[in-house]
Each structure stands twice: as structure tokens, then as C-alpha cells.
Amino acid sequence: MNMQPLNADSEETLERAVAIQGRSLWIDARARLFKNRAAVVSMVILAVITLMAIIAPMLSPYPFDKLNFNLVSCSPDWWPDKMVLCNAGGAHWFGTDALGRDLFVRVLYGARVSLAVGLAATFVSLVIGVAYGAIAGFFGGRVDELMMRFVDILYSLPYIFLVIILMVVFNRDIFLLFMAIGAVVWLTMARIVRGQTLSIKQKEFVEAARAAGVGQFAIIRRHIIPNVVGPVMVYVTLTIPTVILAESFLSFLGLGVQEPLTSWGVLIQDGTNQMETAPWALIFPALFMAVTLFCFNFIGDGLRDALDPKDR
């Protein structure tokens, strides 16, 4: 072992050096990301959808849960083959659903729920996955083996099965839905973080921190976790669409959010039931969801290329 005693001064220098290197990496990555046209377009589209989801339901004259039995399943005015027209002067841009509720507002309301579930559950999985992976990787040996073995076991069952059982157990509360999905999709995150941790803990700066007497959990918090941010960020952008998909999947099976609340999965399910008479009720939510999933995937790919240029 070739270690020189560290005084406060050299530790500071070291930290500064790490900080400088880190910043230039991020600036590089950002520049590369903004050169990726697909990723930039996706970010703009996502921002528009998010803004619309936040603002539009407030501005629209139609509340998302107001039933109107005079306008059941009426088509938008511009629909090519005229079925039941909404004679409200073109105000129902996407038509109405089987209970006469304005579909435009409901699709955007569904966007709120779907995006919120996506973000919240991803956050839960981020916290669990990063902590779990960092601890397993950092302590290594028996602890690592036991912890990763557990992950392997959970891996051998499609996660959706666990979520379905969890949803049945916890009775379909929307916040529990966030937690249930998040509590299941952290597995890959844990694996990624563990792999990174294994290599980072061999680095000199960790050795230096240890020599300076920093506690184990402090090393994990201050030195390991900040250095796994890159791969974790890439995986987060790819987890969000997975979670949105999982939530819609559950809602489609009738296990997700409950009326009058809605999500894209619920809307697609409703649309499927009446697609022969009112195809717009299926097409619009499906379109919004597909576009959103697309955007997240493009951003994720773009981020990966930006943060890890040797992969190209």
C-alpha cells in the first residue's frame, strides 16, 4: 500500500479536482444531448404535453367528471364520418366518452395521473434501488451475495405479477399504486448501481476518504452515490415509460385508478369497449400515450449517448 497521510488541505484539493472534472463532463454531455435532434424534439413535445396537462383542465369549460347524458359518445365536429355530432359548436375537440364527459379534458387529466405515477414511482424505485445497490456493492462479500440473490429471485417473476398481487393486497389506493410499482421496478436500478459501485470503490479517492477516517455510510453518501449519477439518470428516463406502461396495464385490467379519476390506461380500456361506435375514444388516449412513451425512450437513448460517448 502506498498511501500518504492526507491533511485537510489536500483533501480539499482533491475534492475540488473531482468537482472540476465532474462539471466539464456534464457540460460536454449537455452539448452532445442538445445536438441529438430526436432527443431535443422529444423534450419539447414532452414539455408541451406536461404543460397542457397542468393548464388545460383548468381553462376548459368542461370539468373532467361532469356527466352529460345529452352528449353521449358524440364525435368531434371534424370527424370524417359523421356519427353523433356534438351540437355544442365544436367545443369538444376530441368528442365525448360513453358518459358524455369531454374527452379532451379527460385525456389531459389522464396525462396528469399517468405522468404523476411515472415520476412518483420512479422516484421510489430510485431511492430504493440506489441505496440497495450502493450498500450491496460497497460492503461486498456475504452481504452482497445475499442481497443480490434476493434480487435474482424477484427477477425470475415478471414484475407485473407482483404488482397485481400488491394492488389486490393494498386495495387500489392511488398513492399505494405509486409505492407498489416503485417497490417492484427498483431491481434493475439496484443492479446497475451495484456494478458501478464495485468499480468506484476501488478508486483512489475512496481509499483517501477511508484513510482520512470517513465513516462507511458517509463514504457511500458523499463519494459513491454522486459518482453513479450518470448511468442512474439514463436508467431513470427509461424507467418512467416502463412505469407509465405498468400503471396503464393495471388500469386496463381494472386494477388501477378508479372512477372518476382517470389515466391513459383507463381511457384506452374504455375506448376499447366502444371502439366500434366511438373510435375516437380509443385513438386519442392511445396516441397521447404512444407519443409520450416514444419521447421518453428517445431522451433516454440520447442521454446514454451523451453521457457515454464510447458506446457510439
Partner 1 sequence: MLSYAIRRFLGAIPTLFVIITIAFFMMRIAPGGPFDSQRRLPPEIEHNIQAAYNLDKPVYQQYGIYLDRLAHFDLGPSFKIKDFSVTQLIEQGLPVSARLGASAMLLALILGISLGTFAALYQNKALDYGVMTVAMVGITIPTFVTAPILTLIFGVYGVHLFGYDVSLPVGGWNDGAFANMVLPVTVLALPQIAIIARLVRGSMVEVLRSNYIRTARAKGLPDHLIVTRHALRAALLPLVSYLGPAIADLLTGSLIVEQIFGIPGIGRYFVQGALNRDYTLVLGVVICYAALIIALNLIADLLYAVLDPRVRYER
Contacts with partner 1, residue ranges (CB under 8 A)? 152-153, 156-158, 160-161, 164-166, 168-169, 171, 241, 245, 248-249, 252-255, 265, 268-269, 271-272, 275-276, 279, 282-283, 286, 289-290, 293-294, 297
Backbone angles phi, psi at 82, to 5 degrees: -70, 115
- Name the residue nearer to partner 1 (CB basis): 84 or 286: 286
- Name the residue nearer to partner 1 (CB basis): 189 or 219: 189
- Name the residue nearer to partner 1 (CB basis): 138 or 235: 235
- Name the residue nearer to partner 1 (CB basis): 62 or 284: 284
Which one, of 284, 282, 249, lies nearest residue 268 by Cα?
A: 282
Residues 6+ apart with CB under 8 A from 135: 143, 147, 220
Residues 6+ apart with CB under 8 A from 48: none
What residue has cell string 392511445? 286
Q: Minimum CB separation from partner 1 for residue 171, in Å?
A: 6
Q: Minimum CB separation from partner 1 for residue 297, in Å?
A: 5
- Name the residue nearer to partner 1 (CB basis): 123 or 249: 249
Q: Minimum CB separation from partner 1 for residue 241, in Å?
A: 7
What CA–CA distances, in Å, run from 300 to 2, 215, 287, 311? 41, 35, 20, 14
Residues 6+ apart with CB under 8 A from 192: 129, 133, 228, 231, 232, 235
- Name the residue nearer to partner 1 (CB basis): 197 or 237: 237
- Name the residue nearer to partner 1 (CB basis): 62 or 288: 288
- The x, y and z cell numbers of residue 64, run together, are 373532467
Q: Minimum CB separation from partner 1 for residue 282, in Å?
A: 6
Q: Which helix (H) or strand (E) holds 110?
A: helix 103-139
Q: Minimum CB separation from partner 1 for residue 17, in Å?
A: 37
Q: Minimum CB separation from partner 1 for residue 159, in Å?
A: 8
Q: Minimum CB separation from partner 1 for residue 275, in Å?
A: 5
Q: What's the rounded Cα separation, in Å, for the pair 269 and 234?
A: 31
Check if the beta carbon of residue 268 is closer than 8 Å to that of residue 249: no
